[in-house]
Amino acid sequence: MDEARDKGLALNPKYDRDGLITAVVTDADSGELLMVAHMNAKALQLTRDTGLAHFWSRSRQSLWKKGETSGHMLKVRDLRIDCDQDAVWVKAVPAGPACHTGARSCFFRRIGPEGLTPVDAAG
């Protein structure tokens, strides 16, 4: 255990070999899980500086501000890091659907015995 990282109050993110940490985004009011993405150091800093969620796109290999083209930005209300500082929890107020498909949440399908089934807005 890295005592300073695990229990201390100094921000010291533990990025993976690609320079990324996982970012879990929930609705600040309802607690609904909206999306999971990744942040590099620049995305985390921009998120802290602007109050708007920024991420690193692994597929495009580029920095992106959520909602930059759609207008569905995520206004950060609370930003937390887990005990070993390798994951971030973003509590945000969404300005529209969080998913690129237009769904409110990226988690709109349930895995069941017969395959995938849609999940209604209530969960």
Instruction: Tell whether residue 18 is among the known ligand binding residues.
Output: no
CATH number for position 112: 3.10.20.810
Instruction: Tell whether residue 29 is among the known ligand binding residues.
Output: no
The residue-averaged pLDDT of 11-29 equals 97
SS3 22: strand
32-86: per-residue pLDDT in tens? 999 999 999 999 999 999 999 999 999 999 999 999 999 999 999 999 999 999 9
Length of the chain: 123
Q: Look up residue 95 and give its two tokens.
A: 């300005």
- Does the pTM of the predicted model rise above 0.75? yes
Number of structural domains found in the chain: 1
Whether residue 7 lies inside any domain: the answer is yes
Q: What are phi and psi of 7, to 5 degrees?
A: -125, -15
What is the end-to-end Cα distance of the chain in Å, rounded?
37
pLDDT band at 122 (very low <50, low <70, confident <90, very high): low
Residue 41 lies in domain = 3-118
Whether residue 18 lies inside any domain: the answer is yes
The pairing of beta strand 87-94 with beta strand 21-27: parallel
Instruction: Tell whether residue 106 is among the known ligand binding residues.
Output: yes
Half-sphere exposure of 44 (CA within 13 A, CB side): 23
Instruction: Tell whether residue 16 is among the known ligand binding residues.
Output: no
| Cβ contact 75:64 at 8 Å | no
In eight-state DSSP terms, residue 52 is: B
Whether residue 123 lies inside any domain: the answer is no
Instruction: Tell whether residue 6 is among the known ligand binding residues.
Output: no
User: What's CA 37's distance to the chain center, in Å?
Assistant: 5
